[in-house]
Amino acid sequence: MEIKTVGVVGAGQMGNGIAHVFAVSGYEVVLNDIDQGALDKALSQIHKNLDRQVSREKITEDERRAALARISTTLKLPDLGQTDLVIEAATERETVKVAIFEDLLPHLKPETILTSNTSSISITRLASRTDRPEKFMGFHFMNPVPVMQLVELIRGIATDQPTYEALHKVVESLGKTAATAEDFPAFIVNRILMPMINEAVYTLYEGVGSVKSIDESLKLGANHPMGPLELADFIGLDTCLAIMNVLHDGLADTKYRPCPLLTKYVEAGWLGRKTDRGFYDYRGDTPVPTR
């Protein structure tokens, strides 16, 4: 099956990035959200990111205009029904994702492939709640989507070979690299990354180092482009906590126990950059450590 049209559910940080890269690569994109404000913000962000690509000579002005013309937005989930591929990029909560797929199913073409951009939730379990588990896959983009080169492809237990091959071709058409992961909690990237971030929070919690010293140590001592606490703020502390809980529950190993300090920050609503406070306070001209 040739994929030409793509529906994206969720216009947040990941959804607008996914819409951006598909539109630049020639796909017609329908971007959906339940909030008009989120759609307006997403289009504004896509404009800004495309302008940045033009200024850096990654794309031409004509390509920018053409990409924007390929993106339409809607508040109505059924409007995605006639697309060839649906990518769910809603919040990292299984109940929300299941409800979206259940609402979509009556409106889908028989051949439409369903995917989830989940960073940790079982693809097999999500697929089992649809009418097409053989045409369901994990399609996990990295943040920020226009910049990061990797896409994790996760097959559920029922995913068929044609679906896998179709999505592998899609990843190549986007100019990105596919990494195939088995359907185990958090897949590859977050299975390795999140425990490192969680350990950095434990290091802060136990007073081994300050926010600044922990981040500087990993940047200068391990050559990481961002410190783990700075990265956690960028990802969103609520997302980090959700993934750690999936790892802890799914693998039943105490080494994945979320740090109580991470839980406390999320309880406070200090979720990182998106709320202007996390391990850093972003309300001034420069970020200031909160501990």
Per the annotation, binding residues are 10-15, 33, 92, 97, 119, 143, 274
How many CA atoms does the CB half-sphere of 50 hold within 13 Å? 26
AA letter at 220: L
> What phi and psi values does residue 228 have, to the nearest 5 degrees?
-65, -35
- Just list the catalytic residues: 119, 140, 152, 190
Q: Tell me whether strands 5-9 and 288-289 are parallel, antiparallel or unpaired.
A: unpaired
AA letter at 207: G
Which residues have CB under 8 Å from 216's CB, separation 6+? 227
CA distance 133 to 273: 36
Dihedral (Cα; 43, 49, 55, 57), 10-degree rounding: -110
CA distance 95 to 137: 17
Binding residues for NAD(+): 10-15, 33, 92, 97, 119, 143, 274
Q: How far is CA 106 from the centre of its chain?
A: 26
CB atoms closer than 10 angstroms to residue 155: 21
Starting at the edge strand found earlier in the chain, the sheet holding 150-155 runs 71-74, 28-32, 5-9, 85-88, 113-116, 136-141, 150-155, 177-181
Say if CB 193 and CB 270 are below 8 A apart: no
